[in-house]
Every structure is written in C-alpha cells, then in structure tokens.
Structure 1
Amino acid sequence: MESISPEFALDLLMQDADRIKRLISNQKNSLCISQCKAFEEVVDTQMYGLSRQVAYAIRLGVVSNEDGNQLLSDVERDLNILYSEVYEKQTKNSENGKEV
C-alpha cells in the first residue's frame, strides 16, 4: 500500500472546501441563501461532512491537527463573509425599496 503525503491529503480536503465555497458563491445573487432553510441544511451537511473528513485525516496522521483545524476555520470564515455580503446586499435593497 502506498502512503499518502500530508500535502496530498490537505490538497484533497482543500478541494472539498472549495466545492462548498462555490456552492454558496453560486447562490450569492439568489434570495435562497437567506430565505431557504433547505439550502442552509445543505451547507450545514456539507460542512459536517468536511469536518468528519478532516477529523479522519488527522486520526490517520496524514494531516496535522493544526492544519486541519485551520482549514475548517478558513472555510467557516469565508462562508461567514459570503453570508454577510448577501445579508448586506439584501438589507441595502430593502432600504432602497422603502425609500422609493
């Protein structure tokens, strides 16, 4: 059996993290992010799955605890930024609609 390098394992996890970010980003212009509970559940499920993958990689010793936790923190931060941007845009649009 070939061994897996930490770099390769971390790269695979980063690809999954990027997929989650794209999922959110693709919905950015949609009201679905803030108003669709099903969409939130999909994101939560994806994040849970990623966290389990990271935990497994850490247990296998192919990713350090620090790298794994940093990856999850980075994804959560990026998702929060995306959610904030959508919320601010909707708030601005809502305010503009009231002024008219």
Structure 2
Amino acid sequence: MERDDPLVIYRNSKSRYTATGRVGPMAHTEYVRDQYWDGGPALDIYAIENYDDSIDVDPETINRVLGYKDSFRPQGFWRVSDDRPIERVARKFNI
C-alpha cells in the first residue's frame, strides 16, 4: 500500500462495502501490535484520509468493476493488483 492509494472498506459483519478513503501516513510500530493485537503479526499501521462511510455497496458491484467472480469476498487487508482497473472504482465511488 502506498500513500494516496484509494480504499474501499468491506465489512464482514454486513457483507457490504461500507466506506471509502485514501491511504494516509504509515507507522511501523510494535506498541500497537502488542497493546491491541496481543503480539499478533501486524507491525504496519495506516491512517485513512478522506474517510467516508456513506456508501452501501454489495460485493458483486465491486467485483464486476474489478473483474472478479461475483462470489469473491476479500479476506484481510490487501491491495488490488495493478492489472485490475482500480481507477474505475475510484471514479465510480468518488474516492
């Protein structure tokens, strides 16, 4: 992930995309890992800039724009590969 990359945030509990934003500053820290994730593997913490939680989008819509199968569901924190039309999603949702 690089600063200013567009974000679309998926909530497993709702099975929907519920927010957008941009990657903000990043910190590499053991403190957050140890205090909040019980020593889990995560060390990189990203801020989200221009966070907007006003969208409510079904996964199939995003999947069609990015060329994924309708049944695809994101797992964890990951970056869409460069060969996918990321800017189409950014334009569609005004990110």
Shorter-chain TM range is: under 0.3
Q: Which has the higher helix share?
A: 1
Q: TM-score under structure 2 normalisation?
A: 0.23
Q: Which has the higher strand share?
A: 2
Higher RCO (C-alpha under 8 Å, 6+ residues apart): 1
Structure ID, larger Rg? 1
Q: TM-score under structure 1 normalisation?
A: 0.22
